[in-house]
Structure 1
Amino acid sequence: MKYVPLNHVAAQFLRDTQPARVASRNERDLLRLIWKSPGIERSDLTEPLDLTQQSLHRIVGRLHDRGMIVFSPSETRRPGPPSPELSLCRDWCLTLGISVNVGSIGLCLMGFGEPLENMEIPQTGSSLATEMARIEAAAEELLARRDAKRRDILGVGLAVAGHRMLDTAFNCPLPLAHWSLIDLAPVLGEQLGLPVWVDNVARTAALAEAIFGVGRDVADFAYIAHLHGYGGGLVSGGMPFRGSFGNAGEYSVLFNRQEYDDRPALSLLLQHLHAKGRADLTLADLKDEALVQWDGVAEWVDRVAPAHNRAINAICAVFDPALIVLGGGFPHSLARMLIDRTEFNNLPRHGVLRDVPSLAVAEVVDAPGAIGAALIPLFETVL
């Protein structure tokens, strides 16, 4: 039987009407507008939501009664009865985001749309049961920091490095082979006793950048995740675009077997630096902003620049975004080196060049995959 996360959401978060759901379409539209514009006055919601004042007051009242929004006195002086300012109640629910990368597992505890606590634990070993138990222990530590309980969690977002296969199964890199080809949502859901939504870690990082980073003012942008592998995510209309099979943004598919070792993947930079005599380095060490001064790094950047440019131009040709963001586990200094070597295929026609996207370095650098994963339960149920 197919796993449906909504079937495992606790009754305290559900509306008291059928079918079982956390919020209706109109309620979700209203909650997302309040989330994006905290402190917006109730009277200012009528026009963007295309609701009558009577319907709006009824929906706002119901959400307030459920504890999802809070009222504050308006400071605006205008004729007529005062209209309260509305904000989400951060404590109405928690969500948990988990990102599984080669070498590290990130966790983010989020209030109602607001990140509260981040944590990173090592990803080691080859036992899925052991790593899930460590994730559970880390989640309990995050909850203890906020004096919260597991029952306060609406849902869990799990982000995994790898290609999506079926439902919530992924084909992961070799160091994560024990996470591969397993329907992960029901397994983690049973471990935590909570509903679980699953996506690729590069796409959840793109979502974090769309909401909290440089992409928050850009409707359409591409995110390149430089991690152990080389992938990314596409954001269209402010939301991730996943494609028919859930693998939109798998930029490594651009390269054949002979070209694979010249991608800007951090595992390949690590191999290059090991060959230069730095055998002690790990993926975590590559986040150092001083990395660009190390022997061999400039040589590697020159080597992978053609692959970088192929990916950039493929993104432009197929997706035509306003912005391309370089993120993942890259330090900003290394990302800027690649940006400096970017060459757009932009031949003039009738003496005129076409518009090309801006390039930017990701702003969300601490656990971006986990932060984006923590957003998934909210976007699937209430926002």
Structure 2
Amino acid sequence: MKYDPLEHVATHFLRDAQPARVASRNERDLLRLIWKSPGIERSDLTEPLDLTQQSLHRIVARLHERGMIVFSHAEARRAGPPSPELTLRKDWCLTLGIAVNVGSIGLCLMGFGEPLENMEIRQAGASLSVELERIEAAVEDILARRGAKRRDILGVGLAVAGHRMLETAFNCPLPLAHWSLIDLAPLLGKQLALPVWADNVARTAALAEAIFGVGRDVADFAYIAHLHGYGGGLVSGGMPFRGSFGNAGEFSVLFGREDYDDRPALNQLLEHLRAKGRAGLTLNDLKNEELVGWDGVEEWVDRVMPAHNRAINAICAIFDPALIVLGGELPHSLARKLIERTEFNNLPRHGAVRDVPQLAVAEIIDAPGAIGAALIPLFETVL
């Protein structure tokens, strides 16, 4: 039977109506407007939601009774009766994001749309059951820090490095082989006794950048995730675009066997620097902003620039975004070096060139995959 996380949402989060769900479509539209504009007055919601004043007041009252929103008194700025200001009640629910990368697992605990705390644990080896037990222990730890309990969690977003296969199974890099080709959401859901949604870690990082980072004011942008591998995500209309098979933004597909090792993947940089004498180097060490001055880095940049430019121009040709973000675990200093040397294929026609996207460094650098993963349960149920 197909796993449906909505069937595992705790009843105290559900509305008293059929079908059983956390919020209706109108309620979700209203909650998202309040989330994007905290302190918005109730009277300002009528027009964007295309609701009658009577319907709007009824929905707002229902959400207030459920403890999802709070009222505050607005200063008198207009004629007529005062209209309350509305904000989300941040402790109405918690969500949890778990991001599985090569070498580390990141966690983000989020309130009702607001990140609260991040933590990271190292991978334990090649046993999935051990990894799940360590994730559960980390969940209990991060909840204890906030004085919260597992029943306070609306849902869990699981982000995994790898190509999406069927349902919630992924084909991961070799160091994550024990996570590969297994329907993960039911397993983690059983371990935590919570509903679990799953996606690729590069796409959840793109979502975090769209909501909290440099992409928050850009409707359409591409996110390149420089991790152990080389992937990314596409954001269209402010939300991730996944494609028919859930793999939109898998930029490594641009490269064949003959040039696969020349992608700007951090695993390739790691191997290159180890060959230069830094034998004990790990992926985590590559986050060092001083990295650009290390012996061998400039040589690696020279090597990967053709692949970088191919990816940038492919994104321009196919997606035509306003912005391309360099993110993942790439240090800002190295991202800026790649941006400085980017070459657009932009031959003039009739003396004019076309518009090209802005290139930017990701703002969300601490657990972006986990932060984006923590947003998934909210977007699937209430926002």
| TM-score band, normalised by shorter chain | over 0.9
Task: Name the SS of the counterpart of 1:90 in structure 2.
Answer: coil
What's the CA shift for 1:43?
Answer: 0.3
Match of 2:173 in 1: 173
Match of 1:187 in 2: 187
What's the CA shift for 1:75?
Answer: 1.4
Match of 1:268 in 2: 268
Task: Name the SS of the counterpart of 2:225 in structure 1.
Answer: strand
Letter in 1 for 2:323: L
Gaps of 5+ in 1: none
Summarize the alignment of residues 74-85 of structure 1 with structure 2, pairs less than 5 Å apart.
74-85=74-85
Match of 1:371 in 2: 371
Task: Name the SS of the counterpart of 2:181 in structure 1.
Answer: coil
Letter in 2 for 1:193: A
Match of 1:63 in 2: 63
What's the CA shift for 1:204?
Answer: 0.0
What's the CA shift for 1:153?
Answer: 0.1
Summarize the alignment of residues 105-184 of structure 1 with structure 2, pairs less than 5 Å apart.
105-184=105-184
Letter in 2 for 1:310: R
Match of 1:200 in 2: 200
CA distances 1:131-159 after superposition (whole Å, capped 9, x unpaired): 11111111111101110000000000000
Match of 2:44 in 1: 44
Letter in 2 for 1:5: P
Task: Name the SS of the counterpart of 2:129 in structure 1.
Answer: helix
Match of 1:238 in 2: 238
Letter in 1 for 2:146: R
Task: Name the SS of the counterpart of 1:92 in structure 2.
Answer: coil
Alpha-carbon separation, structure 2, partners of 1:136 and 1:107: 11
1:324 aligns with 2:355: no
Conserved in 1, the CA contact under 8 Å of 2:124 and 2:130?
no
Letter in 2 for 1:119: M
1:223 aligns with 2:236: no
The range that moved more, 74-83 or 135-144, is 74-83
What's the CA shift for 1:94?
Answer: 0.1
Task: Name the SS of the counterpart of 1:258 in structure 2.
Answer: helix
What's the CA shift for 1:231?
Answer: 0.2
Task: Name the SS of the counterpart of 1:314 in structure 2.
Answer: helix
What's the CA shift for 1:124?
Answer: 3.1
What's the CA shift for 1:81?
Answer: 1.1
What's the CA shift for 1:77?
Answer: 2.2
Task: Name the SS of the counterpart of 1:87 in structure 2.
Answer: strand
What's the CA shift for 1:79?
Answer: 1.3
Match of 1:258 in 2: 258
Alpha-carbon separation, structure 2, partners of 1:288 and 1:279: 16
Match of 1:341 in 2: 341
TM superposition outliers: structure 1 runs of 4+ over 4 Å: none
Alpha-carbon separation, structure 2, partners of 1:224 and 1:104: 19
Size of the aligned set, in residue pairs, is: 383
Alpha-carbon separation, structure 1, partners of 2:120 and 2:301: 28
Output the TM-score relative to the length of structure 1.
1.00
CA distances 1:94-127 after superposition (whole Å, capped 9, x unpaired): 0000000001100000000000010011123000
What's the CA shift for 1:238?
Answer: 0.1
Letter in 1 for 2:224: I
